[in-house]
Amino acid sequence: MLLVDQAASGNFSAFGQLYEMFLDKIYRYAYYQVKDRMTAEDITETVFMKAWKQIATCKGHGDTFSAWLYRIAHNQVVDTLKSHKAIQTIDLDDISNLDSPDLAGRLSDEAEELAGMVAELPEGQRQVLILKFIEGFNNAEISRILNKSEQAIRILQMRALTKMREKVRRGQVQP
């Protein structure tokens, strides 16, 4: 029996294992959206509370759990941005203080510049790039998470990369 099936049957230990597997990923996704550590932590906590309460509704269980969880995260980020008017820029001085040592250790000067460029993109484009290049989802998975067609995902990705390429060409950021 899969962990998701066990958790859907009320097994809290199985849900705890899922929590451990996805905690850093959901936190990172939330952080790149809201650019505030405490807000990202609150979102992450809410996502997992909602997931525990609703796990029996995850259709397909193991096959769709990841997309289902990211969909909850996406909705929570949108709700949070609407209600709190979250900070719109990444505080690059705070990046080295992230709770995830793996993430902080991997960030280099180039990654910080890239994170700043991603933060300046419109919400849809930013979400697609984060899910695609940071979280490693394919277009079909992103389509399910964001509830958009795969064609729309490709267009958002293309527009975002074009904007970033133009910034580099204009010299607004170092290549």
Summarize pLDDT for 123-160 with one digit per residue, the tens. Answer: 899 989 889 888 888 899 899 889 999 999 999 999 98
Instruction: Locate 57 and state its tokens.
Output: 């509704």
pTM: 0.64
Domains of the chain: 1-98 (1.10.1740.10), 108-175 (1.10.10.10)
107 vs 45: which has the higher pLDDT = 45
Q: Furthest-apart CA pair in the chain: how many Å?
A: 55
d(CA 160, CA 125) in angstroms, rounded, equals: 5
